[in-house]
Amino acid sequence: MTDRYSRQVRFTPIGAAGQERLSKATAVVVGCGALGTVILDQLARAGVGTIRCIDRDFVEPSNLQRQSLYDEADAAACRPKAEAAAARLRAVNGAITIEPVVAEVGSRTVERLVAGATVVLDGTDNFRTRHLLNEACQRARIPWIYGACVGSYGLSLTIIPGHGPCLACLQDQLPGPGETPTCDTAGIIAPAVHQVAAWQVAEALKVLVGAPPCQDLRSADLWAGTHRRVAVAGWRDPACLVCGPTPQFPLLSSADDPAVILCGRDAVQISRFADLDPVALAARLGHAVLMANPWLVRWRDGAATLTAFADGRVLVQGVADPAAARTLVDRWLG
Ligand SMILES: [Zn+2]
Task: Give the orientation angle of helix 81-92 with respect to helix 34-46, to 10 degrees.
Answer: 30
Contact status, residue 47 vs residue 20, Cβ threshold 8 Å: no
- pLDDT score recorded for residue 172: 65
Ligand 1 centre distance from Cα of residue 140 (Å): 14
Is the Cα dihedral 252, 257, 260, 263 positive or negative? negative
Res. 117 pLDDT band, cuts 50 70 90: very high
Which residues have CB atoms below 5 A from the ion given as ligand 1? Answer: 166, 168-169, 240, 242-243
CA of residue 250 to ligand 1 center, whole Å? 12
> What is the pLDDT, as a whole number, of residue 174?
60
**pLDDT (mean) for 193-217:** 97
Compute the distance from residue 171 Cα to the ligand 1 centre, in Å: 9
CATH number of 6-231: 3.40.50.720
The active-site residue, picked from 183, 240, 243, 263, is 183
Given a contact cutoff of 8 angstroms between Cβ atoms, the answer to whether 65 and 33 are in contact is: no
pLDDT per residue as tens digits for the range 290-327: 999 999 999 999 999 999 999 889 999 999 889 999 99
Summarize pLDDT for 238-265 with one digit per residue, the tens.
Answer: 999 999 999 999 999 988 888 888 766 7
**Separation of CA 169 and ligand 1 centre (Å):** 4
For the segment 151-180, the average pLDDT, to the nearest whole number, is: 84
Domain assignments of the chain as residue spans, ordered by start = 6-231, 259-333
**Confidence check: pLDDT of 176 > 60:** no
Instruction: Please tell me the distance from the alpha carbon of residue 39 to that of residue 60, in angstroms, as a whole number.
Output: 19
Class of domain 259-333: alpha beta
Q: Is 183 a catalytic residue?
A: yes
Question: Does pLDDT of 178 surpass 60?
Answer: no
Percent of the chain residues past pLDDT 90, beyond the cut: 78
330 Cα–ligand 1 center, Å:
40
pLDDT at 179: 63
Residues with Cβ within 8 Å of residue 143, at least 6 apart in sequence: 119, 120, 137, 158, 159, 160, 161, 207, 213
Q: How far is the CA of 205 from the centre of ligand 1 (A)?
A: 24
